[in-house]
Amino acid sequence: MKNLWLDEEAKNYKSDLELRVYSSNLLGQSDELVLHGGGNTSVKSIVDGEDILFVKGSGWDLVSIKAEGFSPVKMATLLEMAKLKSLSDIDMVSGQKEAMIDKTAPNPSVEAILHALIPFKVVDHTHADAIVTISNSKNGKKYIDELFPNFLIIPYVMPGFILAQKIYEATKDNFDWNRCEGIILHNHGIFTFDDNAKKSYSKMIKAVSLAEEFLKLNANVDLAPIEPSSYKIDKLKELIEIKKGFSVVMKINQTPLALKYASKNNLVTFATRGVLTPEHILRTKRVPLILEDNNIEKSLNIFEENYKSYFKKYENGEVMLNTTPNYAVIKNYGVVSFGKDEKEVNIINDIVEHTMLAVLRADMLGGYESITEENSFAMEYWELEQAKLKK
């Protein structure tokens, strides 16, 4: 993938934070690195003699983040929090907020402690498609180990305090950070870091390019045009709106990728294998509505029943979310997303587009495998994430 760094432009940015904004925007410009609010970045700096972590604030997208989108948090507090034996994510967030030196700044990213633990000035984190595609495949652990021998590789755990604690445990004794080229979080994403903003960004591009090369060689998906069949799409919209109780904006995807995906056999199994990176679940839910015949009502009822039993299986006092699908895969017709407005439907469509390619590629690596249903539930019903979506 292309390295977008321009020395000519970068030289205009003098402060740590200005440069941080510049390379965050560069990361955000590549859809194959982050989509809609995904990923986060930080820079360590000194304010009035105190070490401060400027970390992406929640509610900001890397592509458009500005200086005011970064939360300034005291490093000392974050490093103390990392040592705690246990901490709820709610308490972590309020502890982080208390350690902000500017109370008008946005809430710091839930990965702030992790960023603080990495002893380099600049830290970049993305959910790069190529990395998570390989990781979400049957032999993902082996391939990632082989491709990234000098990376710290962490099996999937829930983002937030549990993940920060995992990194703390893995690195607190005799860990040689200088020989560590980055961190890969299985089923989630990748971190690169350096004391220099250009180098940290370039390490990200280099690592992701390596994964892309691997996929090109081992999982190249042929996307020939396919003629879509017809479907009673107006009826689908009508029934979805009745179920959801509000009018929806629908987006029909009939790209060669969507058609190849929708033409697979046994969609009920094929297209329901979970999300590419955990936070996507908040937009798409874990599985789509599958329509393999014209009986939309019956399929919708099955979807809702399955959703309710998934909730019942894992719930522990949470309030159930909307039980209706956010997108549908329609046999030989394509993929249709439903959003409350144009913006939301485009986000869902983009996420599904990236997921479909990853699934097809991971199948060529032995089979697509996402996080477990139980871990999906933990993410979908994460209190913090529910709060973030309401914004």
Contacts with Zn ion by CB under 5 A lie at 189
Q: Provide, rounded to whole angstroms, the least separation between the CB of residue 277 and Zn ion.
A: 7
| Nearest residue to Zn ion, scored by beta-carbon proximity | 189
- DSSP-derived 3-state class of residue 296: helix
Task: Give 109 or 349: the residue with its C-beta nearer to Zn ion.
Answer: 109
Nearer to Zn ion, 123 or 348 (CB): 123
Neighbouring CB atoms inside 10 A of 213's CB total 13
Nearest approach in angstroms of CB 180 to Zn ion is 18
Beta carbon nearer to Zn ion, 89 or 304: 89
| Shortest spacing between CB 264 and Zn ion, in angstroms | 29
Question: How crowded is residue 68: how many other Cβ atoms within 10 Å of its Cβ?
Answer: 14
Measured distance CA(178)–CA(176) in Å, rounded: 5
Nearer to Zn ion, 106 or 189 (CB): 189
End-to-end CA distance of the chain: 33
Supply the minimum distance, in Å, between the C-beta of residue 74 and Zn ion: 23
In the complex, least distance from residue 110 CB atom to Zn ion, rounded to whole angstroms: 9
- Best CA proximity match to 227, nearest among 258, 270, 265, 268: 258
DSSP-derived pairing of the beta strands 182-185 and 151-154: parallel
Q: Which is nearer to Zn ion, 189 or 325 (CB)?
A: 189
Cβ distance to Zn ion smaller for residue 189 or 334: 189
Q: Coil, strand or helix: which one is 276?
A: coil
Which is closer to Zn ion, CB of 277 or CB of 324?
277
Sheet holding 334-339, edge to edge: 249-253, 334-339, 327-330, 289-291
Nearer of residues 279 and 353 to Zn ion, judged by Cβ: 279
**Residues making up the chain, counted from first to last:** 391
* Angle, in degrees to the nearest 10, between helices 296-314 and 373-380: 90
Q: How far is the CB of 133 from Zn ion (least distance, A)?
A: 15
Cα–Cα distances in Å, from 213 out to 146, 166, 216? 14, 30, 5
Q: Are 36 and 276 in contact (CB under 8 A)?
A: no
Closest CA to 207 of 157, 152, 167: 152
- Compute the least distance from the CB of residue 108 to Zn ion, in Å: 14
Nearer to Zn ion, 28 or 334 (CB): 28
Question: Quick one: 164 or 362, whose CB is closer to Zn ion?
Answer: 164
Minimum CB separation from Zn ion for residue 371, in Å?
A: 13
Decide: helix, strand or coil at residue 46: strand
Q: Which helix (H) or strand (E) holds 375?
A: helix 373-380
CB of 116 to Zn ion, least distance (A): 15
Minimum CB distance to Zn ion, residue 40 (Å): 7
Which residues touch 345 (CB under 8 Å, ≥6 apart)?
248, 249, 250, 251, 337, 338, 339
CA dihedral 155, 158, 159, 160 (to 10 degrees): -120
Closest CA to 274 of 350, 158, 347, 368: 368
